[in-house]
Structure 1
Amino acid sequence: VFLANYRKAPEFSFPTQPEDTVAAYEYLLRHEKIAPSQIIVAGDSAGGGLVMSTLLRVRDGEAKLPPPLAAIVLSPFVDLTAGKDPASGQHCVLSRSIAKAARRAYHPTCDDRSTWLDASAVQCDLRGLPPVFIQAAGLDYLYQHSLRLAAKAKADGVTNWELDVHDGVPHVFALFPAFVLPYSHVGVQKIAAFAAHQFLKT
């Protein structure tokens, strides 16, 4: 497991974070000599959005890096229009006010759509990316983000992504300790099954 210690908001704003994660991915390829077919990138919440930015930059970047085997995103923040959404996920650990503040801290010019670039993956062309596993939680404030991301991929003709929806659970529920949320193991099992399937295909 490799954890990228990328620079974070509010001290640093977009596009610093995806620049760092692409550099981390390139480090694994060029210095650690790890084959891309042995790498699955993963992230939750804002980290899920960062995973999507990373995939898009790997695909479109001048370095012409090969894509990783696959990606896993849990309750990803992938839509900068979401600040205008009606209140949702009233039982979620992530409130609307927190999400709005995080959006502004990460992307200070988010009111200017021309500056979004890959920070808002649902507005991007998703063709040519590796398989992505999207885990969505029904009580999550970001629930619609997951649905929009999957819908955009489908509209772009992508057929190798998986949307995994779980009703009645909160934001990034799979990361909760079992003694807090016993159902969390179901989410973990789904993630593990996707990863195992991807590795078995290689």
Structure 2
Amino acid sequence: MVRRSGRRPGNQDTRSSILEAARTAFAEKGFDRVSVRAIAADAGVDAALVHHYFGTKDKLFLAVMNAPINPAELVPQALQGPRGQAGERLVRLVLSIWDSPAGAAALAVFRSALSNEWTARLLREFVIVQVLRRAVTELAIDPAEAPLRAGLVATQMAGLIVTRYVLKIEPLPSTDPELLVAAIGPNVQRFLLDPLPASVDNRAELS
């Protein structure tokens, strides 16, 4: 029997091939530098099959991450309201996810990222592109400042996740979520919207 060549038909093997190609592409190049067409080519399928199985590139990325939530839906909802309380609402969103049944899946990804560079790259892309970029967009933050502000916010969120859910340093695991929102929210708010400190060079000139 002659083996047929060319594009794979649509089946479960095709879906797995697309996910594997996407996982590699996102980890190696980052979300922004990867196209659906390139992923399809790496998987040996037509780009239409990628859209058939996953829809958009964002949804394909969420499938690669096995994400328990969709930030495109949750982040805008969390940031609706007064800008002066955006930090608290963002911390409340993180806690609500990690304290819910979806938190188990999120924790598995987070633990894997601590020991696996490929997963760490994907998690960085997820946090930066899917969560923090959406947050700074919703708040209309200066694009020139957005990367630094997003990174500073990440220090608070990652620290909260590690201490409360991974290392479980008491009393944080037992602390009421609203107390953590009140304690950590102002720091996140400051990193999001308060004026950034002057650079080291500028401070030296002013002194």
* TM-score, normalised relative to structure 1: 0.25
Structure 1 or 2: larger strand share?
1
Structure with the greater alpha carbon radius of gyration: 2
* TM-score, normalised relative to structure 2: 0.24
Structure 1 or 2: larger helix share?
2
